[in-house]
Structures are given as C-alpha cells and as structure tokens.
C-alpha cells in the first residue's frame, strides 16, 4: 500500500525535492517518478545554451526515491521526521543517457538489505521511452537527531 504522506515526510523541499510521485512500493522495491522542470536552478550554468541535468542531481533523485522514500516506508511506525534523520552514506553510479529540461524519469529501486537502520539498494533510472538513463547502488542510514 502506498502511503500518501511519504513525499511530505521527506526532509527536502523545493528547489531540492526531486520526487513527484510514488508509483509502486512494497517491502522489496519502490518505483517513483520526477519531471525535471525547464526552470530548475541548476540548468542556468550546466551547459551554456544546451542545458543537461547534472549527474549529481540524477543521483540525488535516485537516492530520494530509491533510498529516502523507501526507507521511510520500511521504517513504518518507527519513522518520525522530528526525531529521525536520513542520509546517503554511499553511492556508485553509471550514466548512459542525458536528461534534458522537461523530461520525466522513472526510478526503480530494489532492496539489497535493510538492517541496523541501514538500507542498501540497486537503483535504475529510465526515461519515458523506457531507456536506461543511469543505474547503480545507493546506501543510506536512518539516525536519531
């Protein structure tokens, strides 16, 4: 069951929130989407006259959907934004296609493990043509504030 409040529970806000919707979720995977708006702050200087979404932003989008949203779901009743924080602890990414302003991406994350408040996932990002944009591994941890 998709909790409608997961996105609201994230510790991010615009202009650094890269999750529009959660499409699927269970205890083994999550699938979510984000559309990169034409006026995102990072396009102004990356690259002049031919904007492309920076890899670090694609990684952040994959981590927000594939690790932070997923982690909130997995923590269930233990999650409390006031007392628990989340942080990415490591990532390893490969990039295959550019993402341009206005493009929608789908992120799929599959749990490798979740124990001792640490979540490790295999993540993949696809464009609307179902072409692989990026894939890799993200890991994160939940901690008491």
Active site residue 46: yes
Structure tokens belonging to residue 37: 């708006």
Is beta strand 84-95 parallel, antiparallel or unpaired with respect to 104-115?
unpaired
Provide the β-strand partners of residue 30.
25, 109
Catalytic residue among 29, 46, 50, 73: 46
**Residue 123 · residue 109 · CB < 8 Å:** yes
**What span, in angstroms and rounded, lies between the C-alpha atoms of 61 and 126?**
12
Whole-angstrom Cα distance, residue 70 to residue 75? 9
- Just list the catalytic residues: 46
């Amino acid at each position: 069951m998709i909790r409608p409040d997961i996105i609201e529970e994230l510790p991010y806000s615009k202009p650094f929130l890269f999750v529009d919707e959660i499409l699927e979720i269970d205890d083994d995977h999550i699938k979510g989407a984000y559309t990169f708006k034409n006026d995102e702050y990072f396009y102004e200087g990356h690259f002049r006259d031919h904007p492309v979404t920076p890899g670090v932003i694609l990684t952040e989008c994959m981590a927000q959907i594939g690790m932070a949203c997923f982690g909130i779901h997995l923590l269930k009743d233990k999650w409390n934004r006031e007392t628990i924080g989340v942080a990415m602890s490591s990532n390893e990414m490969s990039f295959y296609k550019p993402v341009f302003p206005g493009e929608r991406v789908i992120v799929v994350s599959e749990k490798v493990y979740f124990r001792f408040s640490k979540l490790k996932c295999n993540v993949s990002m696809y464009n609307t043509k179902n072409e692989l944009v990026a894939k890799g591994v993200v890991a994160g941890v939940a901690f008491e504030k």
